[in-house]
Amino acid sequence: MRSQAALPAVFALAALLPVHAQDSREGGPQYKVEIDFRDANGAGAMTDRRYTLLVTDSKKAVLKVGTKSPTASGTVQPQTGGSVVTQFTYLDIGVNIECTVSAAGSRADLRGSLDLSSLAPSEGAANGGGVRNPTVKQTKLDFETTVELGKPAAIATVDDPVTSRNLQVEATVTKAN
């Protein structure tokens, strides 16, 4: 499971990044992209979360917050009669955001993807190595939209039929330098 203790540190880090101290020699102006998640039902784990990225014009920015969770992906039986060895693949669990900004005038083209995932206990039988893999709950959004600089814009509303959660996603893009 994702550590809740690590999240405040990430939020504090985003708040401490001095916008004026960012190096823009990599090719253009920079933009601050704020992504807000709200659970309209008010009872979900994602209620009022904000993530901030500094993005150089036309470059991709990536933010990952969460854990790498092992899941059994196979087993190997040694030919010499040793014990079965379980092989694992690691899944990124938490919040993964990728985005690019291309701005002209007072508008910006915002493209990217959001991936929100969490683990639920497995209800199925154990695999061949005796390991139960967790069930991954996931909400994934690929988006491409135009927003007004400095004004919040709804980029998605998701009604999750499994959890009855109503997730609203809003983005605000502002010029950083």
Q: What is the pLDDT of residues 134-152, one digit of tens each?
A: 888 888 999 999 999 999 9
Average pLDDT across the chain, whole number: 79
Mean pLDDT for the stretch of residues 96-103: 96
* Contacting residues for 78 by C-beta, under 8 A, at least 6 apart: 85
- Residue 139 within a domain: yes
- Residue 1 within a domain: no
pTM of the model: 0.71
Confidence of residue 131 (pLDDT cuts 50, 70, 90): low
SS (H, E, C) 34-46: EEEEEECCCCCCC
- Residue 18 within a domain: yes
pLDDT at residue 67, as a whole number: 93
Residue 6 scores a pLDDT above 60? no
Closest C-alpha among 118, 171, 120 to residue 140: 118
- Residue 116 within a domain: yes
Higher pLDDT, 154 or 18: 154
Q: Which amino acid is at 176?
A: A
- Residue 149 within a domain: yes
pLDDT at residue 103, as a whole number: 93
Residue 35 scores a pLDDT above 80? yes
Mean pLDDT for the stretch of residues 77-104: 87
For the chain, how many structural domains are there in total?
Answer: 1
- Residue 80 within a domain: no
Count Cβ atoms within 10 A of the Cβ of residue 104 and give its class: 0-12 exposed, 13-18 middle, 19 or more buried.
exposed
- Residue 109 within a domain: yes
CA distance 78 to 87: 13
- Residue 105 within a domain: yes
- The pLDDT tens digits for 54-90 are 999 999 999 999 999 888 888 887 777 778 888 888 9
Confidence of residue 130 (pLDDT cuts 50, 70, 90): low
For residue 23, give its domain range: 6-73+85-175
